[in-house]
Amino acid sequence: MSAGPVERPPGEAGGGSAAPASPRALAWRRRRHSLGRFWAGYRGNRAGLAGLAGLAVFVLIALCAPLLIGPADLSLTDAPGGPHEPPSAAYPLGTDNYGRSILDLVIWGSRVSLTVGFLATLMCVGLGTLVGIVAGHYGGFGSTVLMRITDWVLVLPALVLAVAFAAVMGQGTVTIILAIGLTAWPTTARLVRAQTLAVEARPYIDRAKALGGGHGHVMTRHVLPNVMPIVLAQTTLTVAESIIMESTMAFLGLGDPNTLSWGGTLQEARNAGAVSSGLWWHLLPPGLAIVLVALAFTLCGRAIEGVLNPRLRERR
Protein backbone atom coordinates (compact mmCIF):
# COMPACT_ATOMS: atom_id res chain seq x y z
CA MET A 1 0.00 0.00 0.00
CA SER A 2 2.23 2.77 -1.14
CA ALA A 3 0.26 4.49 -3.86
CA GLY A 4 -2.14 7.25 -2.93
CA PRO A 5 -2.78 10.93 -2.98
CA VAL A 6 0.65 11.59 -1.50
CA GLU A 7 2.37 10.44 -4.62
CA ARG A 8 0.24 12.27 -7.07
CA PRO A 9 2.15 14.21 -9.66
CA PRO A 10 2.87 17.66 -8.30
CA GLY A 11 1.25 19.32 -11.29
CA GLU A 12 -2.08 18.02 -10.16
CA ALA A 13 -1.80 19.42 -6.69
CA GLY A 14 -0.44 22.79 -7.65
CA GLY A 15 -3.41 23.68 -9.79
CA GLY A 16 -2.30 26.98 -11.26
CA SER A 17 1.01 26.05 -12.84
CA ALA A 18 0.02 23.28 -15.25
CA ALA A 19 -2.74 23.58 -17.79
CA PRO A 20 -5.93 23.54 -15.72
CA ALA A 21 -7.44 20.10 -15.99
CA SER A 22 -11.18 19.86 -16.38
CA PRO A 23 -13.09 18.52 -13.36
CA ARG A 24 -14.08 15.48 -15.33
CA ALA A 25 -10.50 14.66 -16.22
CA LEU A 26 -9.55 15.08 -12.58
CA ALA A 27 -12.38 12.83 -11.50
CA TRP A 28 -11.28 10.17 -13.97
CA ARG A 29 -7.72 10.43 -12.86
CA ARG A 30 -8.86 9.95 -9.28
CA ARG A 31 -10.97 6.97 -10.24
CA ARG A 32 -8.11 5.40 -12.14
CA HIS A 33 -5.94 6.07 -9.17
CA SER A 34 -8.24 4.38 -6.68
CA LEU A 35 -8.65 1.47 -9.09
CA GLY A 36 -4.87 1.16 -9.16
CA ARG A 37 -4.81 1.20 -5.38
CA PHE A 38 -7.52 -1.43 -5.29
CA TRP A 39 -5.57 -3.68 -7.64
CA ALA A 40 -2.40 -3.22 -5.66
CA GLY A 41 -4.26 -4.41 -2.57
CA TYR A 42 -5.93 -7.27 -4.40
CA ARG A 43 -2.66 -8.46 -5.90
CA GLY A 44 -1.30 -9.05 -2.45
CA ASN A 45 -3.99 -11.61 -1.70
CA ARG A 46 -2.84 -15.00 -2.97
CA ALA A 47 -6.18 -16.75 -2.47
CA GLY A 48 -7.94 -13.94 -4.29
CA LEU A 49 -5.58 -14.27 -7.24
CA ALA A 50 -6.16 -18.03 -7.31
CA GLY A 51 -9.92 -17.45 -7.37
CA LEU A 52 -9.58 -14.91 -10.14
CA ALA A 53 -7.37 -17.26 -12.16
CA GLY A 54 -9.88 -20.09 -11.65
CA LEU A 55 -12.73 -17.95 -12.92
CA ALA A 56 -10.64 -16.84 -15.89
CA VAL A 57 -9.89 -20.49 -16.79
CA PHE A 58 -13.58 -21.40 -16.62
CA VAL A 59 -14.57 -18.45 -18.77
CA LEU A 60 -11.81 -19.23 -21.27
CA ILE A 61 -12.93 -22.85 -21.53
CA ALA A 62 -16.53 -21.77 -22.02
CA LEU A 63 -15.52 -19.35 -24.77
CA CYS A 64 -13.31 -21.88 -26.55
CA ALA A 65 -15.77 -24.78 -26.28
CA PRO A 66 -16.88 -24.63 -29.94
CA LEU A 67 -13.23 -25.02 -30.99
CA LEU A 68 -12.75 -28.15 -28.89
CA ILE A 69 -16.03 -29.97 -29.44
CA GLY A 70 -17.98 -30.58 -32.61
CA PRO A 71 -21.75 -31.08 -32.76
CA ALA A 72 -21.23 -34.76 -33.53
CA ASP A 73 -19.63 -35.33 -30.13
CA LEU A 74 -22.81 -34.19 -28.39
CA SER A 75 -25.28 -35.99 -30.59
CA LEU A 76 -27.77 -38.14 -28.68
CA THR A 77 -28.53 -40.56 -31.43
CA ASP A 78 -25.07 -40.81 -32.94
CA ALA A 79 -22.94 -40.73 -29.79
CA PRO A 80 -19.26 -41.60 -30.22
CA GLY A 81 -18.96 -44.11 -27.38
CA GLY A 82 -20.97 -46.86 -25.73
CA PRO A 83 -23.29 -46.04 -22.83
CA HIS A 84 -21.72 -45.61 -19.38
CA GLU A 85 -18.15 -46.40 -20.27
CA PRO A 86 -15.80 -45.84 -17.32
CA PRO A 87 -12.98 -43.32 -17.71
CA SER A 88 -10.44 -44.35 -20.31
CA ALA A 89 -7.85 -42.77 -22.59
CA ALA A 90 -10.47 -41.99 -25.24
CA TYR A 91 -12.99 -40.65 -22.71
CA PRO A 92 -11.04 -39.24 -19.74
CA LEU A 93 -14.17 -38.85 -17.66
CA GLY A 94 -16.16 -41.72 -19.08
CA THR A 95 -19.42 -41.51 -21.01
CA ASP A 96 -23.03 -40.93 -20.11
CA ASN A 97 -26.03 -43.14 -20.76
CA TYR A 98 -26.10 -42.08 -24.41
CA GLY A 99 -22.39 -42.66 -24.91
CA ARG A 100 -21.32 -39.00 -24.96
CA SER A 101 -18.03 -38.00 -23.34
CA ILE A 102 -18.67 -36.50 -19.89
CA LEU A 103 -15.68 -34.19 -20.38
CA ASP A 104 -17.30 -32.77 -23.49
CA LEU A 105 -20.60 -32.39 -21.67
CA VAL A 106 -18.95 -30.51 -18.81
CA ILE A 107 -17.02 -28.23 -21.17
CA TRP A 108 -20.05 -27.47 -23.29
CA GLY A 109 -22.33 -27.15 -20.26
CA SER A 110 -20.10 -24.46 -18.77
CA ARG A 111 -21.40 -22.04 -21.39
CA VAL A 112 -24.99 -22.04 -20.15
CA SER A 113 -24.14 -22.64 -16.52
CA LEU A 114 -21.71 -19.73 -16.29
CA THR A 115 -23.99 -17.40 -18.22
CA VAL A 116 -26.94 -18.21 -15.99
CA GLY A 117 -24.79 -18.16 -12.88
CA PHE A 118 -23.26 -14.75 -13.63
CA LEU A 119 -26.25 -12.93 -15.04
CA ALA A 120 -28.87 -14.27 -12.64
CA THR A 121 -26.57 -13.50 -9.71
CA LEU A 122 -25.81 -10.03 -10.99
CA MET A 123 -29.49 -9.33 -11.42
CA CYS A 124 -30.59 -10.80 -8.12
CA VAL A 125 -27.83 -9.28 -6.00
CA GLY A 126 -28.09 -5.93 -7.79
CA LEU A 127 -31.84 -5.74 -7.34
CA GLY A 128 -31.65 -6.91 -3.74
CA THR A 129 -28.94 -4.41 -2.85
CA LEU A 130 -30.79 -1.55 -4.49
CA VAL A 131 -34.08 -2.35 -2.78
CA GLY A 132 -32.38 -2.98 0.56
CA ILE A 133 -30.38 0.24 0.60
CA VAL A 134 -33.25 2.39 -0.63
CA ALA A 135 -35.71 0.88 1.85
CA GLY A 136 -33.23 1.19 4.70
CA HIS A 137 -32.14 4.70 3.84
CA TYR A 138 -35.41 6.47 3.21
CA GLY A 139 -37.61 4.69 5.72
CA GLY A 140 -41.18 5.79 6.13
CA PHE A 141 -44.19 4.67 4.17
CA GLY A 142 -42.36 3.99 0.89
CA SER A 143 -39.94 1.72 2.69
CA THR A 144 -42.78 -0.21 4.30
CA VAL A 145 -44.40 -0.74 0.91
CA LEU A 146 -41.07 -1.84 -0.55
CA MET A 147 -40.47 -4.34 2.23
CA ARG A 148 -44.01 -5.74 1.98
CA ILE A 149 -43.37 -6.34 -1.72
CA THR A 150 -40.11 -8.03 -0.75
CA ASP A 151 -41.91 -10.25 1.74
CA TRP A 152 -44.51 -11.06 -0.85
CA VAL A 153 -41.89 -12.21 -3.37
CA LEU A 154 -40.07 -14.05 -0.58
CA VAL A 155 -43.07 -16.25 0.19
CA LEU A 156 -44.01 -16.85 -3.43
CA PRO A 157 -42.84 -20.27 -4.54
CA ALA A 158 -40.01 -19.49 -6.95
CA LEU A 159 -40.83 -22.39 -9.25
CA VAL A 160 -44.45 -21.37 -9.69
CA LEU A 161 -43.35 -17.84 -10.51
CA ALA A 162 -40.76 -19.17 -12.94
CA VAL A 163 -43.37 -21.31 -14.69
CA ALA A 164 -45.54 -18.22 -15.03
CA PHE A 165 -42.60 -16.34 -16.54
CA ALA A 166 -41.97 -19.09 -19.02
CA ALA A 167 -45.62 -19.13 -19.99
CA VAL A 168 -45.49 -15.41 -20.73
CA MET A 169 -42.07 -15.17 -22.35
CA GLY A 170 -41.56 -18.56 -23.90
CA GLN A 171 -38.86 -21.10 -23.09
CA GLY A 172 -35.16 -20.34 -23.17
CA THR A 173 -32.10 -19.43 -21.20
CA VAL A 174 -33.17 -15.78 -20.91
CA THR A 175 -36.38 -16.85 -19.24
CA ILE A 176 -34.43 -18.92 -16.75
CA ILE A 177 -32.10 -16.02 -15.96
CA LEU A 178 -35.01 -13.65 -15.44
CA ALA A 179 -36.93 -16.19 -13.42
CA ILE A 180 -34.00 -16.73 -11.04
CA GLY A 181 -33.08 -13.05 -10.91
CA LEU A 182 -36.61 -11.91 -10.16
CA THR A 183 -37.36 -14.51 -7.51
CA ALA A 184 -34.12 -14.81 -5.53
CA TRP A 185 -33.47 -11.17 -4.63
CA PRO A 186 -35.64 -10.76 -1.49
CA THR A 187 -33.14 -12.51 0.81
CA THR A 188 -30.43 -10.09 -0.26
CA ALA A 189 -32.80 -7.15 0.09
CA ARG A 190 -33.71 -8.12 3.64
CA LEU A 191 -30.10 -8.62 4.70
CA VAL A 192 -28.91 -5.42 3.07
CA ARG A 193 -31.74 -3.42 4.59
CA ALA A 194 -30.92 -4.65 8.07
CA GLN A 195 -27.27 -3.73 7.60
CA THR A 196 -28.23 -0.37 6.11
CA LEU A 197 -30.29 0.44 9.19
CA ALA A 198 -27.30 -0.37 11.39
CA VAL A 199 -24.95 1.76 9.28
CA GLU A 200 -27.39 4.67 9.12
CA ALA A 201 -27.38 4.92 12.89
CA ARG A 202 -23.64 5.63 12.92
CA PRO A 203 -22.48 9.20 13.59
CA TYR A 204 -20.51 9.42 10.35
CA ILE A 205 -23.80 9.41 8.47
CA ASP A 206 -24.79 12.50 10.47
CA ARG A 207 -21.45 14.04 9.67
CA ALA A 208 -21.90 13.40 5.97
CA LYS A 209 -25.34 14.99 6.10
CA ALA A 210 -24.04 17.97 8.04
CA LEU A 211 -21.32 18.39 5.41
CA GLY A 212 -24.08 18.79 2.87
CA GLY A 213 -24.16 15.29 1.40
CA GLY A 214 -27.46 14.33 -0.16
CA HIS A 215 -29.19 10.96 -0.26
CA GLY A 216 -27.13 9.75 -3.20
CA HIS A 217 -23.89 10.68 -1.50
CA VAL A 218 -24.79 8.95 1.75
CA MET A 219 -26.05 5.83 -0.02
CA THR A 220 -23.14 5.36 -2.40
CA ARG A 221 -20.18 6.67 -0.39
CA HIS A 222 -21.11 5.51 3.09
CA VAL A 223 -23.82 2.87 3.11
CA LEU A 224 -22.75 0.85 0.07
CA PRO A 225 -19.12 0.24 1.15
CA ASN A 226 -20.34 -0.81 4.55
CA VAL A 227 -22.94 -3.28 3.30
CA MET A 228 -20.45 -4.70 0.77
CA PRO A 229 -19.40 -7.69 2.95
CA ILE A 230 -22.97 -8.94 3.01
CA VAL A 231 -23.43 -8.29 -0.69
CA LEU A 232 -20.26 -10.21 -1.54
CA ALA A 233 -21.13 -13.15 0.70
CA GLN A 234 -24.57 -13.23 -0.81
CA THR A 235 -23.05 -13.19 -4.31
CA THR A 236 -20.96 -16.28 -3.73
CA LEU A 237 -23.94 -18.12 -2.31
CA THR A 238 -26.22 -17.09 -5.11
CA VAL A 239 -23.87 -18.17 -7.91
CA ALA A 240 -23.94 -21.81 -6.86
CA GLU A 241 -27.64 -21.61 -6.15
CA SER A 242 -28.43 -20.20 -9.61
CA ILE A 243 -26.43 -22.90 -11.37
CA ILE A 244 -28.41 -25.60 -9.54
CA MET A 245 -31.66 -23.70 -10.00
CA GLU A 246 -31.03 -23.64 -13.73
CA SER A 247 -31.02 -27.44 -13.82
CA THR A 248 -34.28 -27.59 -11.87
CA MET A 249 -35.91 -25.21 -14.29
CA ALA A 250 -34.50 -26.98 -17.31
CA PHE A 251 -35.80 -30.23 -15.84
CA LEU A 252 -39.28 -28.75 -15.57
CA GLY A 253 -39.14 -27.78 -19.19
CA LEU A 254 -38.68 -24.05 -18.75
CA GLY A 255 -35.52 -23.96 -20.81
CA ASP A 256 -34.66 -25.47 -24.13
CA PRO A 257 -34.50 -29.23 -23.41
CA ASN A 258 -31.59 -29.59 -25.80
CA THR A 259 -29.42 -27.09 -23.92
CA LEU A 260 -26.54 -28.66 -22.10
CA SER A 261 -25.62 -27.42 -18.67
CA TRP A 262 -23.94 -28.74 -15.51
CA GLY A 263 -27.21 -28.87 -13.70
CA GLY A 264 -28.83 -30.60 -16.63
CA THR A 265 -26.09 -33.21 -16.72
CA LEU A 266 -26.55 -33.87 -13.01
CA GLN A 267 -30.25 -34.26 -13.58
CA GLU A 268 -29.63 -36.73 -16.37
CA ALA A 269 -27.20 -38.69 -14.21
CA ARG A 270 -29.84 -38.98 -11.55
CA ASN A 271 -32.44 -40.12 -14.07
CA ALA A 272 -30.05 -42.69 -15.47
CA GLY A 273 -29.63 -44.14 -11.98
CA ALA A 274 -26.02 -43.07 -11.61
CA VAL A 275 -26.40 -42.74 -7.85
CA SER A 276 -27.59 -46.27 -7.22
CA SER A 277 -25.38 -48.01 -9.77
CA GLY A 278 -22.19 -46.27 -8.68
CA LEU A 279 -21.52 -44.40 -11.92
CA TRP A 280 -19.45 -41.78 -10.13
CA TRP A 281 -17.94 -40.37 -13.30
CA HIS A 282 -21.36 -39.26 -14.45
CA LEU A 283 -22.17 -37.37 -11.25
CA LEU A 284 -18.86 -36.07 -10.02
CA PRO A 285 -17.49 -33.88 -12.84
CA PRO A 286 -20.45 -31.50 -13.24
CA GLY A 287 -20.87 -31.35 -9.47
CA LEU A 288 -17.22 -30.55 -8.96
CA ALA A 289 -17.39 -27.88 -11.65
CA ILE A 290 -20.21 -26.13 -9.75
CA VAL A 291 -18.25 -26.38 -6.50
CA LEU A 292 -15.11 -24.98 -8.14
CA VAL A 293 -16.92 -21.98 -9.62
CA ALA A 294 -18.58 -21.23 -6.29
CA LEU A 295 -15.22 -21.60 -4.56
CA ALA A 296 -13.54 -19.25 -7.02
CA PHE A 297 -16.28 -16.70 -6.36
CA THR A 298 -15.85 -17.08 -2.62
CA LEU A 299 -12.11 -16.53 -2.88
CA CYS A 300 -12.60 -13.42 -5.03
CA GLY A 301 -15.30 -12.11 -2.71
CA ARG A 302 -13.13 -12.56 0.35
CA ALA A 303 -10.21 -10.87 -1.35
CA ILE A 304 -12.34 -7.90 -2.38
CA GLU A 305 -13.69 -7.63 1.14
CA GLY A 306 -10.16 -7.80 2.47
CA VAL A 307 -9.12 -4.88 0.28
CA LEU A 308 -12.21 -2.82 1.06
CA ASN A 309 -12.12 -3.40 4.79
CA PRO A 310 -9.01 -1.73 6.18
CA ARG A 311 -9.17 -3.65 9.45
CA LEU A 312 -9.10 -7.03 7.72
CA ARG A 313 -6.21 -5.93 5.56
CA GLU A 314 -4.02 -5.51 8.58
CA ARG A 315 -4.79 -8.83 10.14
CA ARG A 316 -3.89 -10.78 7.06
Partner 1 sequence: MTAQTGPDPATRDDAGDRAVPGGAAAPVLSAEGLEVRFKGRGDRGVARAVDGVHLDVRAGEIIALVGESGCGKTTLARTLLGLERPTDGRVTFEGRPLSYTGKALKAYRRRAQLVLQDPSGSLNPRHVVYDAVAEGLRIHYGVTADEKAKVADALARAGLRPPERFFLRYPHELSGGQRQRVVIAGALVLDPEVIVADEPVASLDASVRGEILALLLRLRDDLGLSALVVTHDLGLAWNIADRVAVMYLGRVVESGTVEEVLTAPRHPYTQALLSVLPEGGVAERVVLTGEPPDPTRVPGGCRFHARCQILASGEADRAGIADRCRGEDPGVLPAGSDSHLAACHYAALGEPAGT
User: Are the beta carbons of 244 and 176 closer than 8 angstroms?
Assistant: no
Q: Is 70 exposed, middle or buried (0-12, 13-18, 19+ CB in 10 A)?
A: exposed
217 or 270: CB nearest partner 1? 217
CB of 125 to partner 1, least distance (A): 20
Q: Measuring CA to CA, how many Å separate 58 from each of 118, 226, 245, 289?
A: 12, 30, 19, 9
CB of 230 to partner 1, least distance (A): 14
Q: Does 30 bind partner 1 (CB under 8 A)?
A: yes
Q: Does 213 bind partner 1 (CB under 8 A)?
A: yes
Residues 6+ apart with CB under 8 A from 3: 33, 36, 37, 40
Of 24-32, 76-84, 121-129, 169-177, the window that binds partner 1 (rule: CB under 8 A) is 24-32
14 or 71: CB nearest partner 1? 14
CB of 139 to partner 1, least distance (A): 14
Dihedral angle sign, alpha carbons of residues 264, 267, 271, 275: positive
CB of 126 to partner 1, least distance (A): 21
Q: Which one of residues 157, 168, 258, 311 is an interface residue with partner 1 (CB under 8 A)?
A: 311
Q: Does 211 bind partner 1 (CB under 8 A)?
A: yes
Of 4-12, 51-59, 124-132, 265-273, the window that binds partner 1 (rule: CB under 8 A) is 4-12
Amino acid, single-letter form, for residue 116: V
Q: Is 269 exposed, middle or buried (0-12, 13-18, 19+ CB in 10 A)?
A: buried
14 or 140: CB nearest partner 1? 14
Q: Does 46 bind partner 1 (CB under 8 A)?
A: no
Q: Does 13 bind partner 1 (CB under 8 A)?
A: yes
CB of 217 to partner 1, least distance (A): 6
24 or 157: CB nearest partner 1? 24
48: left (phi over 0), alpha (psi -120 to 50) or beta: alpha
Q: Measuring CA to CA, how many Å separate 231 from each of 125, 154, 181, 196?
A: 7, 18, 15, 11
Residues 6+ apart with CB under 8 A from 31: none
User: Are the beta carbons of 180 and 122 closer than 8 angstroms?
Assistant: no
Q: Which one of residues 4, 142, 253, 257 is an interface residue with partner 1 (CB under 8 A)?
A: 4
Q: Does 6 bind partner 1 (CB under 8 A)?
A: yes
Amino acid, single-letter form, for residue 181: G
Span 226-245, contacts to partner 1 by CB under 8 A: 226
Span 190-209, contacts to partner 1 by CB under 8 A: 202-204, 206-209
